[in-house]
Amino acid sequence: MSAPARSDVLVLGGGLIGAATAFFLRHAHGLSVTLLERELVGRQASGTNFGGVRRQGRTPQQMPIAHRALRTWSRVRELLGEDLEFRPYGHLRICHSQERADMMAEYARDIRQAGLELQLLTREQLRSRLGIFSDEIVMGSLSPQDGHANPRIAGPAFARAARRLGAAVHEHTEVAHVERDGDGFRVESTDGRQWRAEQLMVCCGAWSGRLSAQFGEPAPLEFRAPSMAVTEPLPYRAGPFIAMNSGLIDEVMYFRQIERGNIVIGGGRRAEVDLDKARAYVHPDNILRQFRELRRFVPAFARVQLIRVWSGVESYTPDSRPIMGPSAKVEGLHYAFGFCGEGFAIGPGVGEVMAEAIATGRCGLDLSPYAIERFAEAG
Amino acid sequence: MSDAPRIVVVGAGPAGVRASQALVEAGLRPIVIDEGLRDGGQIYRRQPDGFGRGYAKLYGSETAKAEALHRDFDALRAQVDYRPRTLAWNLSAGVLHVVQDGQAANLPFDALLVCSGATDRLMPVPGWNRAGCYSLGAAQIALKSQACAIGAQVVFLGSGPLLYLVASQYVAAGAKVAAVLDTAPERPSLAALSGLLARPRLALRGLGLIRGLRKAGVALRKAVVPVRIDGTPEAGVDAVVVRSAAGEERFACDAVGMGWHLRSEAQLADLGRCDFAFDAFSRQWLPAIDEDGRSSVPGIYLAGDGARILGADGAEAAGRLAALAALADLEHPGARARHAAEAPALRRTLRTMARFREGLAQAFPWPHAHAAGLPDETVVCRCEVITAGELRECVRGKDAHEVNRAKAFSRVGMGRCQGRYCGHAAAEIIAAAGDTPIEAVGRIRTQAPVKPLQMDVLQAEPDA
């Protein structure tokens, strides 16, 4: 058996976050990096999600990472030399009850201190600006610089760019064993290849908990499948990504139009996942519920054809905050997973932050709200 | 009747009708879902009311079979829950999801018999995205359902028995057929011949069609390589250009019917999570079934061209056999004996059909090598307007050696048809560009809905 390949950092998991971390480790810090991906880069949650890139709706605590991630998104084309279809045309929340309108107004007031400026739009302003909503809609809240991007191409583009900068990216490589000894980390794949590194990052999405538990840090993840769909192409009009804000899960709908003209839709109840097969399935009834709610708030949807649905395997934490930052128990070990359906929006930014934290021990952001230790008691 | 097994049949073509008939004979009342306005499927497509052309003109040598199928289904009508104009749009564990006239319904089943038929298998040709290009199946439907031709002067291009059958039907209907251009080799191999001899009368009938076309003055070419379909955006196609031993030839026309055999409509099997296996003869992925039509998923049975392209006679046998197998598996009274009595002969029939199919696939091969030679600017995916060059760039520049990967990167197969019409050719282009075996390129994964669903569909029942 050949000697283990050595690098400064081993990244386990080739989702958008792993690929972006590998990219920034090379691009900004010049560290040698090896990325191991069980199947293909960007094929799970980071490739199958809705594609929203929004700050609006996040808590003040999460706003620093959201701001930073938006700046990273705006530099992606220059960094990668590729268009990931990031379009900062805004994120518009709408609601149909006065109670929600009051909550949205309060949020807009409070979140300003965290650096997010929102524009509240009346029913009449919504009508003159967009003209697509039913009379049920009472108010809108626009975050003008948020936007959306294409999940299918993002992770692979970061991985290709990392590879161009010298990162070793191994797809179809399933990790069988991980351990830490006096010489750092040793990782062995199911086909017997070995790697060694000083530092290890675990960013395997829904499958991360198995590895963190092995290091004595279990994570209480729940797994869910969002319900995504796309319509036939319609005449394109550049516009914001629109989300229905409601306390009822069946009413929570969001949609965005891509330049090709198709409208991408998500929302409603999430379905069960098959973690072992790494597959997630949309529940047929939820598709018809989406139709009902979308028709209710945007009547013109009634005459649109839906052509395809899909889902992905997402993981959720009990407090809806991701797990991000260094291990509390093992020197040189880092985590970034459990993004609660929000990982794509901040993925490139998380990669940049994690690379900085790994390379320098600092990242200019307070990662303590995301520390895995917060689950130590519960575990 | 309350604890009678719930059985749903999808499709009212030859397989679906014969499956339904076997179920009714066993005293059951199956639900029969069909997308068509009327029963008969595609091959024995039943005409709208007031249609003037008679059976003999429409079905030629197959008149008696078409009449029998229609008559037998008429006799079943009162004993089945027949739902025409109904799309089976999704399948989840033990439940078929359908929509009829904008109203959804969820149909729980103990056994599901999917007899979903086939569509044309197409190889792109530069210019095939012009107005005036149809599949062979569409050309035939125009004749059988609307009594019209796809053009005033038609070229048929492709390979396989349907190529000659449709051309002959056009000639018989008085349409002008400019040429029949076959990509198959001039002479079939010995292996192909031995397969074709499994059904000698059918093989002879095929030769008769070719003789008839020649007599009618139709230009016949074999071993052609399609070069391009000429035309303009305004007026559509105006000629087909091919290369053959005779050199490069141009056949003027105002419509083209094209196709290379058929491909199974296996979306429901895929949504039902049935296993698939690669079929080397036809170079396509087909749902795995046993001799009687059992899929890998208990309770899901597949019959007819939706599982194996055996033609209408094979579909009738497969439909009946799958229904008898389902009844036996459900331990319906008397079903085991019935199955044991009839299955051997039905299986024998299917084996003969399968040998013939292998002969056809060898005598009229899918011209997979053409995919490698398509110019980069050829549109492959017509729904999303993705060219061969874009697809090759995904392989060479982005390491997409698997078809779903190439789909994610390029949008090939992501449009309205979900890869029905481009998926096989796209896989061949990916295989050739990356020097990957075709079976390793895989198949485009099906996503619901099986066909586009208008968003005014009403739910089956109020939310729980």
Beta carbons of B139 and B170 less than 8 angstroms apart: yes
Which phi and psi (to 5°) does residue A34 adopt? -125, 130
Single pTM value for the model: 0.95
From chain A, pick out residues whose CB is under 8 angstroms from the CB of B458. Answer: 288, 292
Per-residue b or e along B16-49, where b marks 16 or more CB atoms closer than 10 Å to that residue's CB: bbbbbbbbbebebbbbbbbbbebbbbbbbbbbee
Beta-strand ranges (E) seen in A213-292 are: 222-224, 228-231, 241-244, 253-257, 263-267, 273-274, 279-280
From chain B, pick out residues whose CB is under 8 angstroms from the CB of A309. Answer: 447-449
CA–CA distances in Å: residue B135 to residues B121, B254, B255, B257: 8, 14, 11, 5
Q: Do A283 and B463 touch (CB under 8 A)?
A: no
Beta carbons of B66 and B39 less than 8 angstroms apart: no
A202 and chain B in contact, CB less than 8 A? no
Report the alpha-carbon angle B425-B431-B433, nearest 5.
100
pLDDT of residue B464: 57
pLDDT of residue B78: 96
**Helices and strands (DSSP H and E) totals, chain A:** 9, 22
Strands B31-33, B81-83: pairing kind: parallel
ipTM of the complex: 0.94
pLDDT of residue B54: 87
Q: DSSP state, A113? A: G
From chain A, pick out residues whose CB is under 8 angstroms from the CB of B102. Answer: none
Give the chain A residue whose CA is nearest to the CA of B452.
Answer: A307
Min distance A368 CA to chain B CA atoms (Å): 36
Beta carbons of A21 and A355 less than 8 angstroms apart: yes
pLDDT of residue B53: 84
At residue A150, the 3 state secondary structure works out as coil
Q: Do A310 and B402 touch (CB under 8 A)?
A: no
From chain A, pick out residues whose CB is under 8 angstroms from the CB of B108. Answer: none
Q: Do A153 and B416 touch (CB under 8 A)?
A: no
Dump pLDDT digits (tens) for B132-142. Answer: 999 999 999 99
Nearest residue, CB atoms, B455 vs list A47, A285, A304: A304
pLDDT of residue B212: 95
Q: Do A289 and B463 touch (CB under 8 A)?
A: yes
Distance CA A119, CA A93 (A): 10
pLDDT of residue A76: 97
| Chains A & B: contacts with CB separation below 8 Å | 85
Q: Do A302 and B409 touch (CB under 8 A)?
A: no
From chain A, pick out residues whose CB is under 8 angstroms from the CB of B457. Answer: 288, 291
pLDDT of residue B188: 87
Min distance A287 CA to chain B CA atoms (Å): 9
Nearest residue, CB atoms, B454 vs list A283, A287, A305: A305
pLDDT tens for chain A, residues 1 to 379: 578 899 999 999 999 999 999 999 999 999 999 999 999 999 999 999 999 999 999 999 999 999 999 999 999 999 999 999 999 999 999 999 999 999 999 999 999 999 999 999 999 999 999 999 999 999 999 999 999 999 999 999 999 999 999 999 999 999 999 999 988 999 999 999 999 999 999 999 999 999 999 999 999 999 999 999 999 999 999 999 999 999 999 999 999 999 999 999 999 999 889 988 888 999 999 999 999 999 999 999 999 999 999 999 999 999 999 999 999 999 999 999 999 999 999 999 999 999 999 999 999 899 999 999 999 865 4
pLDDT of residue B461: 75
Nearest residue, CB atoms, B416 vs list A160, A232, A285: A232
Give which of B455, B457, B458, B459 to mutate to test A binding, by max A Cβ within 10 Å.
B455
Question: Residues 58..117 of B with a Cβ closer than 8 Å to A: which?
Answer: 89-90, 92, 95, 97, 104, 106
Tokens (6 digits) for A348? 């490139």
Q: Report residues of chain B scoring pLDDT below 70.
A: 1-2, 462-464
